[in-house]
Structure 1
């Protein structure tokens, strides 16, 4: 009966317009020192928050800055129409050819923009600006658009790479700097194309994809929602809300005990919560959580971190990413509804503390992408960066 009531509530039979999700400031970042190897056991015991400072931001910048122009090794993930469709990564993707694959290059760009916005005095600020300016030219972005228009590339990077492209576009759109506005304008045609692809694809998707890797539907919806909200793209925003509710509103008892799978970098259960907290009004979300994952309201709730056995293995190191993505889901939930979920911050801190010391000096298998996940988790924590 409660589930039927909830469905009716969200369909508008019961008015919930006056009870909208609480706004959360997600534009702050955080973290503890990267030189914390000896302190991590204590951090785990005390659930101390990791807070980013300028010194460590200078180190973290190196990850995306060094990989943007690293063309090989490279995983193109393309479907070839013919032999003429082949080419070197920089020829196929002049803007996003480094960092092993297209989506990692996109969120490496996001990392640089995010860091320079929050730490304007970062040591390599000029190198960052030059790298972004050389990469995100109008000409390069047009070439990226042409790739998406290839006969067999319509689903390229759906929806993980799409989501990160919109996150980059959102970050540039809100960068109050002449360069940020120039790059935002350059990127806009590709952003518009990705929005169009969401608008065409989501109505055709009959069932959500509930995995812990790239194609997870909930993750793709969450970043699309953020972009639509920031840019006031009403049509995309309403479609994301509609599809999220149609996909997930009837879900009960998410089997979180089955997680993680061996290659997960997303939690299927928490990714679903992360989008539903965005699209449901407060009372409706609380009712939904009572059915979906009520144990999260228990102040004694625990979840063991994802343990990585070999960080030179590109798939096994995904579990470091899982720890960061779990953390951003916990932080987002705790910040939006502290009265019910504030206790989850300590669990988020624990997950970040486990994987954060491995970012700098790690192998390329993790180094080319994990920094972005860490930064986003720290941004979602709501803690202010240290000078």
Structure 2
């Protein structure tokens, strides 16, 4: 761990416990085929009905399980376990799994929610006193199959700074695939190198107004994991003026003008995710500057509160 204390963990867990089972407000990724499809979120997603949207609920659960593992003696750990036991049941997992087979659900939460579900499953398997990993495995396998099919038809990577970003999804998914699916891990490495290995002289025209990911830095972190010993020369060509702190925008925390606006509040997440990336890429001072800009704002408005803890936790840990 790096910078995460038990007091911080307890505070973050309390916030996440307050939203993973909060049913409303909720933004659905749901295609209606007839009047019968107009059903409340809890009926469609009996596990991931909170946290404003499906993917945020998934990584809210990742946050809770991770904090429980790291600090099993904190008071919130028992509440996390009890809620997980009640949530990760075979019946509820089956309903979540069945939703993926609905007509026109092939693109549901692609690829961001897919990646976070795999990462949640990986974390669930680390809790030896519970069978949460076994319970969630059908969902993980379903999303792994979707990744295989998606990567086979994805001609170009998506370089947006939002949920559609390809590199971020592959970072999390590769972690899962290394443990559970060697073929998928190989496919991810192959596609990443085909898309990104030739990139050099990144201009870093970012951030956009609702980014919560850095297209430039997430690509670099993915390639760090894919290239191994070949990463340093690739990175030197990708950001050739890094020593001069250029492009300047990559080294400067984003300004957040209105945290009640859900899209503008994304920029707090950008600062957190950049902090995560810069730490992994060997720039601790730059990482800290970004964290300092965002960490005071993890709560206070639900537009950020329902998801920012996950990115703060990524930035504070050393295990990815």
State the TM-score bracket (shorter-chain normalisation): over 0.9
**Gapped regions of structure 1 (runs ≥ 5):** 1-28, 31-50, 335-343, 383-387
Note the C-alpha offset of 1:299. 6.8
Measure, in 1, the Cα distance between the counterparts of 2:220 and 2:140: 26
1:295 matched residue in structure 2: 241
2:163 is aligned with 1:211: no
After superposition, the C-alpha distances for 1:260-316 in whole angstroms (9 at most, x for unaligned) are: 00100000100110111111131x3222223211223x1756611011111111110
2:193 is aligned with 1:193: no
Measure, in 2, the Cα distance between the counterparts of 1:320 and 1:98: 21
Moved more, 373-382 or 154-163: 373-382
Contact persistence 1:331–1:381 (CA under 8 A): no
Note the C-alpha offset of 1:117. 0.5
**Which of these residues, 50, 57, 61, is aligned with residue 98 of structure 1?**
50
After superposition, the C-alpha distances for 1:38-78 in whole angstroms (9 at most, x for unaligned) are: xxxxxxxxxxxxx2211222111112101011111110121
Contact persistence 1:219–1:272 (CA under 8 A): yes
Rg larger in structure: 1
Note the C-alpha offset of 1:138. 1.3
2:297 matched residue in structure 1: 358
Note the C-alpha offset of 1:381. 8.3
2:199 matched residue in structure 1: 251
After superposition, the C-alpha distances for 1:130-186 in whole angstroms (9 at most, x for unaligned) are: 1111111111111011111101101100000001001101111122x322xx11100
**Which of these residues, 263, 287, 290, is aligned with residue 210 of structure 2?**
263
**Which of these residues, 303, 306, 313, is aligned with residue 368 of structure 1?**
306
2:97 is aligned with 1:151: no
What is the DSSP-based 3-state SS (H/G/I as helix, E as strand, rest coil) of the residue aligned with 1:266?
coil
1:76 matched residue in structure 2: 28
Report the RMSD for the aligned CA atoms in angstroms: 1.4
Note the C-alpha offset of 1:230. 2.8
Contact persistence 1:330–1:347 (CA under 8 A): yes
What does 1:268-279 align with in structure 2 at a 5 Å threshold? 268-279=215-226
Measure, in 2, the Cα distance between the counterparts of 1:352 and 1:230: 30
Contact persistence 1:97–1:105 (CA under 8 A): yes
Contact persistence 2:272–2:315 (CA under 8 A): yes
Measure, in 2, the Cα distance between the counterparts of 1:57 and 1:123: 10
After superposition, the C-alpha distances for 1:83-115 in whole angstroms (9 at most, x for unaligned) are: 212210000000100000000000010000000
Contact persistence 2:47–2:92 (CA under 8 A): yes
1:138 matched residue in structure 2: 90
**Gapped regions of structure 2 (runs ≥ 5):** none
Which of the pair has the greater relative contact order for Cα pairs under 8 Å at 6+ separation? 1
What is the DSSP-based 3-state SS (H/G/I as helix, E as strand, rest coil) of the residue aligned with 1:60?
helix
The structure 1 segments of at least 4 consecutive aligned residues displaced by more than 6 Å after TM superposition are: none
What is the DSSP-based 3-state SS (H/G/I as helix, E as strand, rest coil) of the residue aligned with 1:294?
coil
1:345 matched residue in structure 2: 284
